[in-house]
Amino acid sequence: MSPSFWKAGHAPTLFAAFLYFDLSFMVWYVLGPMAVQIATDLQLTTQQRSMMVATPILAGAVLRLILGFVADRLSPKTAGIIGQVVVILALLIAWQFGVHSYEQSLLLGLFLGFAGASFAVALPLASQWYPPQHQGKALGIAGAGNSGTVFAALFAPALAKAFGWTNVFGFALIPLVLTLAVFVLCARNAPERPAPKKLADYARALGDRDSWWFMFFYSVTFGGFLGLASTLPGYFHDQYGLDPVTAGYYTAACVFGGSLMRPLGGALADRIGGIRALLGMYTVAAICIAAVGFHLPSAMAALALFVVAMLSLGAGNGSVFQLVPQRFRKEIGVMTGLIGMAGGIGGFALTAGLGAVKQAHRRLPARPLAVRRPGYPRLVRPAERQASLAHHLGLGCRYRSAGLKWHRAAPDSLRNHQAGAVIRHFIG
């Protein structure tokens, strides 16, 4: 960082915005790493588990718009204090009285949305202190607070295993209260704040085509980052049989990479331009996520690709907000709320959508198939069909929670047959 950057703004406010954003994201995301444990205790279906995790994301998306309006009308600091107090009270009630049903978990998620809405507070609070040439770095540093998801992924599953997941809400109160104190003492509103915006200003901003492009860009970068961060604990548990604690560690590695790259993405956009940076990040992320879709046999291989994808999405987050102040300098509060809302909706759509697809896949009926073999025709289910065919092909199969493992055990008479001929022999 150049000396001119630190002289241009207010470092204590930048630090307070980062810390506030960081801890807010930690509690906003806290249900994700514990989703497997909570779902087990509450006996939730896969789709219910996904909706529980996705509810804070959707609530945060909507509340970002509202809190952004409050930040414009009052001040970013005042809006931040209000949001933090609401989250603290919600966690206190959940800790003291517990969460005993799916509906109660959704209600808690609604209040945790105020933590996600911190985005509409932290970024304007930091941005309004810095000139255009330092916007990428300032917003990158403040926005790096999404690294709070790393702490949730690292510690929440282990604490839940040791003390029970309800008590994790109590542990989260300690850093939240300390952060609120630091925020009150250190954060200052910029002396030259834009004039408060009216609801008509939001409508006017939506009438600008560029605003929709920024919302789309961020729904892909931040929505992808948040959606993957929320679903990866369940993915690693379901796909590779990892326990919740280990799945949390894997997720933390992915999230850490994405969070680390946000300020670097902003700095890179300052150097080469935000559009060019975004194009490169989208390309890398798309390639990695497409590769994971080939059902890699190793959890480590999937982890490596997810880390690279999250690095790209994190850098893309910083690149988007390097562009926003240049196009909407005076409407930064309005646009932060709108774009943040779009990012949250993207994360909700990805999280809820993946859960719905998986639930639907599990509900697909197993269609019987008549398998004609010499001596006794009978009906077998798809799983039996695979095992029977594998046996006669000589591949052998043994079932594990992560899928089917195959080993060679074929009689020579069948090993030399063409696969199509053998299949036709057994299914007629």
Q: Which of 363, 385, 415 is the last residue of a domain?
A: 363
Range from 131-145, 313-327, 393-407 that averages highest in pLDDT? 313-327
Does any domain span residue 41?
yes
Would you state the pLDDT for residue 403? 39
Would you state the pLDDT for residue 373? 41
In this structure, the answer to whether residues 254 and 401 fall within a common structural domain is: no
Mean pLDDT of the chain: 80
CB 152 within 8 A of CB 165: no
Does any domain span residue 3?
no
Q: Is the pLDDT of residue 232 over 70?
A: yes
Question: Taking residues 118-138, what's their average pLDDT?
Answer: 79
In this structure, the answer to whether residues 392 and 357 fall within a common structural domain is: no
| C-alpha to C-alpha distances, 30 to 108, 152, 155, nearest whole angstrom | 11, 5, 10
Question: Taking residues 168-185, what's their average pLDDT?
Answer: 95
Question: Taking residues 287-301, what's their average pLDDT?
Answer: 89
In this structure, the answer to whether residues 182 and 243 fall within a common structural domain is: yes
* Structure token pair of residue 84: 């933090």
Q: What is the CATH number of the domain that holds 346?
A: 1.20.1250.20
Give the rounded percent of residues in the chain with a pLDDT score beyond 90.
Answer: 39
Does any domain span residue 295?
yes
In this structure, the answer to whether residues 343 and 392 fall within a common structural domain is: no
Q: Is the pLDDT of residue 400 over 80?
A: no
Would you state the pLDDT for residue 3? 66
Q: Is the pLDDT of residue 395 over 50?
A: no
Q: Which distant-in-sequence residues (6+ apart) come within 8 Å of 186 by Cβ?
A: 12, 13, 15, 16
Does any domain span residue 216?
yes
pLDDT digits (tens, 9 = 90+) for 44-68: 998 899 999 999 999 998 898 888 8
Does any domain span residue 1?
no
Residue 410 identity: A
CB 343 within 8 A of CB 226: yes
Number of domains comprising the chain: 2
CA 411, 413, 414, 416 torsion: positive or negative?
positive
Does any domain span residue 4?
no
Domain interval for residue 198 = 9-363
Does any domain span residue 42?
yes
Confidence band of 6 (pLDDT split at 50, 70, 90): low
CB 164 within 8 A of CB 351: no
Would you state the pLDDT for residue 381? 42
Q: pTM value? A: 0.74
In this structure, the answer to whether residues 344 and 418 fall within a common structural domain is: no
b/e for 195-230, b at 16 or more Cβ within 10 A?
Answer: eebeeebbeebeeeeebeebbebbbbbbbbbbbbbb
In this structure, the answer to whether residues 150 and 184 fall within a common structural domain is: yes
3-state secondary structure at position 46: helix
The better pLDDT of the pair 230, 386 is held by 230
Would you state the pLDDT for residue 4? 66
Place of tokens 């890699």: 296
Q: Is the pLDDT of residue 379 over 70?
A: no
In this structure, the answer to whether residues 198 and 243 fall within a common structural domain is: yes
Confidence band of 362 (pLDDT split at 50, 70, 90): low
Q: Which of 347, 363, 379 is the last residue of a domain?
A: 363
Confidence band of 393 (pLDDT split at 50, 70, 90): very low
Would you state the pLDDT for residue 390? 36
